[in-house]
Amino acid sequence: MKKRILALGLALVAAATLTGCSSEPDVEPTGHTTTVTVQVQGMSYTPSEIEVPLGDELVVEFENTGTDLHDIEFGNGEASERLNPGETETVNVGVVGEDMDFWCSVSNHRAMGMEGTITVAE
């Protein structure tokens, strides 16, 4: 019985490894870059909705124009450092192949409305 469980576990690990665990969909890069400036306004981002052509690389110029510590984190795992008021950081989100969310990971800021959406325009 223990051998069967071990064999099943090893088979599952092998299957996961062979199929890959990439978080990015297969998309043909366009070679173009879309650059967007995102600023903090209170407990929200401006803009909170970003549209990016399918296959474009997205670069976000994140500016903490608020009065508190903030960051920006993307659904694909890319993120800024936590920035003090007045600080800026450039985040290369990568080639965009699907819609994704972004948010502030500081404390309960996301629950307070610090989130947004990236939409792929095909």
List Cβ neighbours of 68 (8 Å cut-off, separation of 6 or more). Answer: 85, 106
Every domain of the chain and the residues it spans: 30-121
* Stretch among 3-12, 64-73, 75-84, 104-113 having the lowest mean pLDDT: 3-12
Give the separation between CA 84 and CA 53, rounded to whole angstroms. 31
pLDDT at 10 over 80: no
Whether domain 30-121 has CATH 2.60.40.420: the reply is yes
Percent of all residues in the chain with a pLDDT value above 70, rounded to a whole number:
80
Average pLDDT over residues 4-30: 56
Please give the structure tokens belonging to residue 114: 């610090």
pTM > 0.75: yes
Predicted confidence (pLDDT) per residue in 35-78, tens digit:
999 999 899 999 999 999 999 999 999 999 999 999 999 999 99
> Can you give the chain as a three-state secondary structure string?
CHHHHHHHHHHHHHHHHHHCCCCCCCCCCCCCEEEEEEEEECCEEECCEEEEECCCEEEEEEECCCCCCECCEECCCCECCCECCCCEEEEEEEECCCCEEEECCCCCCCCCCCEEEEEEEC
Cβ–Cβ under 8 Å, residues 99 and 117 = yes
